[in-house]
Amino acid sequence: MWLRAHPWVGDSLLALLLFLFDSASSRGRYDPVSETFVQAVSSSDYTLGSLLMITPLVVRRRKPVLAAYVTLFGGVFVLVTHGPYAVHPGSFALAIMLYTLLTCSTRRVAVAYATWLLIGTVLFAFVMSREHGVAVFPFVVFGPVAVFAVFWMTGEFVGARRAYHSEVEQRLRLLEHERDQQAKIAVVEERNRIARELHDVVAHAVSVMIVQADGASYAMKTNPEIASKALGTISDTGRKALGELRRLVGVLRNDSETNAEYAPQPDASALGELVEKMRQVGLPVRLTMTGDLADLPTGVGLTVYRLVQEALTNTLKHAGPGASAQVVVARAENQIEVEVTDDGLGRVNGSLVSGGNGLIGMRERVAVYNGVLEAGPRLGGGWRVRAVLPLPGESAP
């Protein structure tokens, strides 16, 4: 609402209305004992006190403490100057300020203000008892205290309701922030997964194609049959890599494109085919598999396959001519161990540290299952990659 966005307008109307009522009663003063208005002479002191009490209502929400104590000062001024006639419509500003402190400030400030109001009420009752006798003292105290109590309870209710709504809004903002963060994390994780898949597929395929192309170029004139076989391997590898790329690109498409075809993910059972392909491109590989590898969880099986694929790809690229590799995959009761070794140069890109993302991708895959990965040169030459993956439900070895 417009008034809620501009609270000073409503407060100004409230102050104007209260001032009009107060001005109308300036010809008489309310006597709480006789419960009637009695004639009194108007004065500039009364007008000044009324303005001091009512005018701060305009800024009561922007500066609640200052406005409250200016109003209190106006009440004291009227009490001093008018004595038994200090109670008039403008006095309701004191109760309104008590309500304002409860809703716009702290309870400690409101308690201090209420204490001053109680002291002022007792002083007013003392003045009235001197005019009409001590018997009127409790009755004079009860009226203002009852009004202040009503405004206090109203302020407590409104303040508690505002605090509740503020807490609910804060929790909603927090939940929305957490939802956005979880969505961002999910996007990053999916992008990393796709990046790993792309690296494994492309790096393996391109490495095979490069090795075969180099071999074909050397054998083109001396042995055309070997060159033709190498070109066939390049063609077959390229087609399969293209199929994998299409599958991964299909994952990135919109959900509405439901006609995208997805190739099945490889697992440990496809290691024999992978090793055979590496042999065809000129890397002698010996594969040893022990234990039941047929019923591995899909994610674990894919991780085993990608680890062996990446390790053999690195061997093909960096081990040098004449190198051979050995792959050992063994399953125990609570874990599966993968080890790939070669007898090549024992270096990656001419150094002991790889400049690519292959080892990083392997570590990320192993970390997903709380596993352990070791990769580095072997004593005596060659390279060794060893990973231990705990099976689901088991702790890391």
pLDDT one-digit tens code per residue, 292-347: 888 888 778 888 998 998 899 888 888 888 889 999 999 987 899 999 999 887 65
pLDDT at 322: 83
Report how far Cα 131 is from the mean position of its chain's Cα atoms.
67
Distance CA 307, CA 359 (A): 9
pLDDT at 248: 63
List the single range of 59-73, 108-122, 283-297, 382-396 with lowest mean pLDDT.
Answer: 382-396
Q: What is the DSSP letter of 224?
A: H
pLDDT at 347: 58
Report how far Cα 82 is from the mean position of its chain's Cα atoms.
61
Distance CA 205, CA 200 (A): 8
> How high does pLDDT run on average in the chain?
79
List the single range of 70-84, 304-318, 377-391 with lowest mean pLDDT.
Answer: 70-84
Rounded mean pLDDT, 343-353: 58
Distance CA 37, CA 89 (A): 12
Q: Where in the chain is the domain with CATH 3.30.565.10?
A: 264-397
pLDDT at 373: 93
- Enter the pTM of the model: 0.44
Judged against a pLDDT cut of 50, whether residue 350 lies above it is answered with: no
Contact in structure between 56 and 93 (CB atoms under 8 Å):
yes
**Contacts of 279 by beta carbon, 8 Å cutoff, 6+ apart:** 285
pLDDT one-digit tens code per residue, 227-252: 777 788 787 777 777 776 666 666 56
3-state secondary structure 256-272: CCCCCCCCCCCCHHHHH
- Segment of 111-115, 259-263, 377-381 carrying the highest mean pLDDT: 111-115
pLDDT at 122: 87
pLDDT one-digit tens code per residue, 203-214: 667 777 777 787
DSSP letter string, 102-153: HHHS-HHHHHHHHHHHHHHHHHHHHHHHHHH-GGGHHHHHHHHHHHHHHHHH
Contact in structure between 380 and 351 (CB atoms under 8 Å):
no
Judged against a pLDDT cut of 60, whether residue 348 lies above it is answered with: no
332 vs 189, more confident: 332
Fold type of domain 264-397: Heat Shock Protein 90 (3.30.565)
Task: pLDDT band for 257, please (50, 70, 90 cuts).
Answer: very low
pLDDT at 298: 76
Judged against a pLDDT cut of 80, whether residue 394 lies above it is answered with: no
Ranges of H-type helices in the chain: 2-5, 7-24, 44-54, 64-82, 92-104, 107-132, 137-222, 224-251, 271-280, 298-318, 358-368
- Segment of 44-48, 107-111, 343-347, 376-380 carrying the highest mean pLDDT: 107-111
Judged against a pLDDT cut of 80, whether residue 38 lies above it is answered with: no
Phi/psi at 328 (5° precision): -125, 120
Tokens of 374: 């070791």
pLDDT at 29: 52
Tokens of 68: 């409250």
pLDDT at 352: 41
pLDDT at 341: 94
Rounded mean pLDDT, 160-181: 84
pLDDT one-digit tens code per residue, 223-232: 777 777 778 8
Q: Based on the number of CB atoms within 10 Å of its own CB, is 60 exposed (0-12), middle (13-18) or buried (19 or more)?
A: buried
pLDDT at 385: 93
Task: Give the closest residue to 328 by CA, choosing from 273, 379, 388, 394.
Answer: 388
CA distances from 299 to 12, 272, 306, 381 (A): 69, 18, 11, 33
List the single range of 18-32, 270-284, 299-313, 354-368 with lowest mean pLDDT.
Answer: 18-32
Residue position matching structure tokens 């304002």:
100
CA dihedral angle for residue 268, residue 271, residue 272, residue 278, rounded to 10 degrees: 180
Distance CA 377, CA 342 (A): 9
End-to-end CA distance of the chain: 63
Rounded mean pLDDT, 45-57: 81
Residue position matching structure tokens 């609910």:
168
**Contacts of 199 by beta carbon, 8 Å cutoff, 6+ apart:** 357, 358, 361
pLDDT one-digit tens code per residue, 109-144: 999 999 999 998 888 888 777 777 777 778 778 888
pLDDT one-digit tens code per residue, 19-35: 887 777 655 555 555 55
Task: pLDDT band for 357, please (50, 70, 90 cuts).
Answer: low
pLDDT at 342: 92
122 vs 43, more confident: 122
